[in-house]
Structure 1
């Protein structure tokens, strides 16, 4: 593991940017909603782990985050990479519409093998949206209920078609997950959420994405943004060029970008960030938010923390470096 001064600084600044270490250089994150807005999207493939990731950064217990989800102040959706994330409700539609087309193109290629035609997808979409709008927020639709809606519309949800349809339709910008009913996921229509959806041209959306990512994850590279968002390299570079209030920093001969506020991070804050130990949940953004995991995770530890086929466990961090799986 490389402990050169530049990489030590990189780790510390990322801990600070992500709200895992304090700083006076920007406003404090005062609750779960603040954390969601700052991070923009936190991976929530494992529901309890996503809740814990927000709670740690807000310095609250999990129950307070779950209460925010119950109030639809935070929602869960597929905004990027075809992967579930927790995010602010006002950012759901524009993020999905910006980032889902490449995911949808790949998904469409799998539909013939599933026995789904474009007409089937259209029928399922219309039926799902109608059911969600009729129910509103007071009666969110369960996953099993969604499968029944598909079946009633003439689209068989069996043999993997139901999960595929929910993920595909959930990435289009009109459907998000609400609070769980027991152990079952629920779904609501974006137009029923209690906030106005932000509507932005594509160029503005790219700038917003890069701004929020670099302020909350930086220092980060264009390759990191490509990994996190699945934008093309050209789009990521364009987005970074349009990002607001960011600065470039050279660490180890590599160009990174971060929020301009980090210029006021003190040496004492960097030292304090590295001095604190953390137990972070599976799929935490500190590990999953970047292309190159080797800066904090040694190759020999990776099978115990994050496998190549996407399994993850909670893990311990000391001085910004993963030291092993949390017991």
Structure 2
């Protein structure tokens, strides 16, 4: 089977990932869109909360930041550590399914960290009991209040202990980040936020069915992709991934000699020419091999190896990085090399979409002095 050209793969992945999809301006469409996007992708990387909101908005043009926050406030979306010890936005149902597959592996690392920071099993138990009691009856706690509950239980949350404890209790499917606050989100009890359905309980109790469910969801929102891409994304061994591929054989097709796709996937369509995608976007992070996304390998250095910077995408290729809007709404685009006039116009339109999402005037300024790539400072991981 001949390899699929990179141009076709990029177009198909933009379409599968809903990048640039318009949803219209009706209140009903805008309200439903954030949940639709996250369900479609299964999970959206979200260690940078504000950037992750735009990851959803970039796939539901016409929605606003307020619309996405409202989906969190309604309990449709939550944010937790479902895989790789990394924060993602997902639905409560998919969070439980993902944790049923990945939490045991991640907890091994957490147990090591407990010992490194001097947390004994009895400390963990006291902290858990205190936090769950503080969150009972539908209470939502901000981070400082969660830390206070640990202190009241005699557990010092300093020296990164608070983060490790919250990660552990999230891996147990006890807590998640939920409703929005002035800064970030508040913690909630997952079962209070969204009780477990019988269908989800069946998946959680059947590891093979759960992994097939997630594989099909991944291919629906990220494919065509290799099994290694999926294994890297979910953080599971390739042997388990291959078994899931075999089980799902009638629903998965070969795109070429190395890539697979979901059989019911829509054909690639002509998406908008240009997009401003956030840091840690699924279009970039959903692949183990990102070489096809860059014109030149050196561009990966300038974009923090294609992972940590907000990126400008033209015809599926990453052509530069951009800054978050300044106080005056200016977005600075730093291209890796000179852009054509048509591409610049398309990027200005993409910036307009971002401004509409943020509900504030924005303007794009393209740095004409393109020179040797410079590595930007790392982004803060955020809660």
Relative to the length of structure 1, the TM-score reads: 0.87
- Residue matched to 2:251: 245
1:171-197 alpha-carbon deviations (Å, 9 max, x no partner)? 221211012321143111111024534
CA distance in 2, matches of 1:206, 1:110: 27
Is the 8 Å Cα contact of residues 96 and 173 (structure 1) preserved in structure 2? yes
| Maintained 8 Å contact 2:226/2:259 | yes
Deviations 1:187-244 (A, max 9, x none): 1111102453411211111111111111111111111111110011111112222336
Q: Distance in 2 between matches of 1:206 and 1:133?
A: 32
Contact in 1 for aligned 2:100/2:207 (Cα 8 Å):
no
The match for 1:110 is 113
Match of 2:96 in 1: 93
Map of 2:36 onto structure 1 = 34
Rounded to whole Å, the distance in 2 between the matches of 1:195 and 1:121 is 25
Q: Does 1:152 align with 2:152?
A: yes
Q: Which runs of 5+ in 1 are unaligned?
A: none
Deviation at 1:307, TM superposition (A): 4.3
| Structure 1 residue aligned with 2:318 | 322
Q: Which residue of 2 aligns with 1:217?
A: 222
Structure 2 counterpart of 1:306, from 304, 307, 316: 304
Unaligned runs of 5+ in 2: 23-28, 323-331, 333-383
In our comparison, the structure showing a higher alpha carbon Rg is 2
**How does 1:49-64 map onto structure 2 within 5 Å?**
49-59=51-61, 60-64=63-67
Taking the aligned partners of 2:40 and 2:98, their CA distance within structure 1 comes to 14
Find the aligned partners of 2:237 and 2:126 in 1 and give their Cα distance.
31
| In 2, Cα distance between equivalents of 1:319 and 1:186 | 38
Task: Give the Cα separation in 2 of the matches to 1:54 and 1:22.
Answer: 10
Query: Stretches of 4+ moved more than 4 A in 1?
Result: none
Shift in Å at residue 71 of structure 1? 1.0
- Calculate the aligned-residue CA RMSD, in Å: 2.2
Mapped to 2, the partners of 1:133 and 1:64 lie a distance apart of: 27
Alignment of 1:159-308 (within 5 A): 159-197=159-197, 198-199=200-201, 200=203, 201-243=206-248, 245-250=251-256, 254-262=257-265, 265=267, 269=269, 272-273=270-271, 276-297=273-294, 298-307=296-305
Identify if the C-alpha distance between structure 1 residues 239 and 5 changes in structure 2 by more than 3 Å, giving closer, same or farther: closer
Partner of 1:124: 127
How far the C-alpha of 1:77 sits from its partner, in A, is 0.9
Q: What TM-score does the superposition give when structure 2 sets the normalisation length? A: 0.75
Match of 1:301, SS state, is helix
Corresponding residue pairs, total: 306
SS class of match (1:58)? coil
